[in-house]
Amino acid sequence: MFRQNLRVDTFKHQLAALVGVSLLMAVYPFGRQINLTTPWGKNPPVERVTVPLDERHSSIHNAQPLKLAPNEPPSTCSRIPTRFQGQTIHGVQLPGYQKAIALTFDDGPWPNNTSTVLGILQQHHVKATFFVLGSNVAQYPHLLQQIATAGHAVGNHSWSHGYQDHSFELALTEIQQTTDIVEKYTGRKTVLFRPPGGFLDNGLVAQASIQKMVTVLWTIDDTYEGSVDLAVQNVIQNATSGGIVLMHDGGGNRDLMIEALPFVISELKKQDYQLVTIPQLLSLTETRVRSEDTINCKPHDHLN
């Protein structure tokens, strides 16, 4: 009887061990994937807002992947001229008769900020370009879809906004996962990339170039502190045709920029600037493209 009980106890222990190993094997790939997309090293502190899990789950549930019709040809609004593929630009040189500038927003999508910016842009009939973080899209895909549905262009800003040096594999993961999730929720594969912090030599830009993406920097940086008047003055005084304005809708407190945005738009329009997306701006460098062709685009034509 003792031996029989011993055999039973031994079998129970073996079964428990087998179950434990199976659970570890199931969890391990997910932990490994997270490690690949987590930045190494120390980054500057970024203010983040904690969002309840039920809100995140609700946003993910409400956002459905989008698919476009097969073989849909690119329009003037989303097509990138071949000569820019794999290149890094700060701004572009436009023909003398063109006067255009591009507003761009980084670090979103983010609750409250992104929706507020979209409302201002809609009120002023302006299209812009949003360089999104893949990790934020994963939390708030419905906000990305709001950006895309409104007719704005979408660019890749990496998955986790890391500044440190990236191995080939990590750089590939950071860019490819973001490209994939943008395509999942917009139906478009973006070919625009903006490196976090503007760093050009940490492996991300090299990977973007391999993938023939356009690395987009800027000619004007938004003001993080001071007054609304100074923020507006910073943009207006440095505005040039073919320029690119860097602004933010995520990554911290952006109240100053958001408050200044309507005045920035109004002042630029007073100076006869056309406010365009990055794909539109690049298209305007081709002399055969008329400015009115890049302005009168249907919303989904902007989903880059």
Q: Are 164 and 39 in contact (CB under 8 A)?
A: yes
Asked if 106 is an active-site residue, the reply is yes
Q: Are 267 and 232 in contact (CB under 8 A)?
A: yes
Element (H, E) at 105: strand 100-108
* Three-point CA angle 117, 138, 245, nearest 5°: 35
Q: Are 93 and 221 in contact (CB under 8 A)?
A: no
> 152, 248, 300, 302: which is the annotated catalytic residue?
248
> 106, 222, 249, 301: which is the annotated catalytic residue?
106
CA distance 225 to 228: 9
Residues near 137 by beta carbon (within 8 Å), at least 6 away in sequence: 109, 144, 178, 181, 182, 185
| Residue whose structure tokens are 């409250």 | 112
Q: Are 185 and 145 in contact (CB under 8 A)?
A: yes
Residues near 91 by beta carbon (within 8 Å), at least 6 away in sequence: 218, 219, 240, 242, 243, 244
Q: Which residues are designated catalytic? A: 106, 248
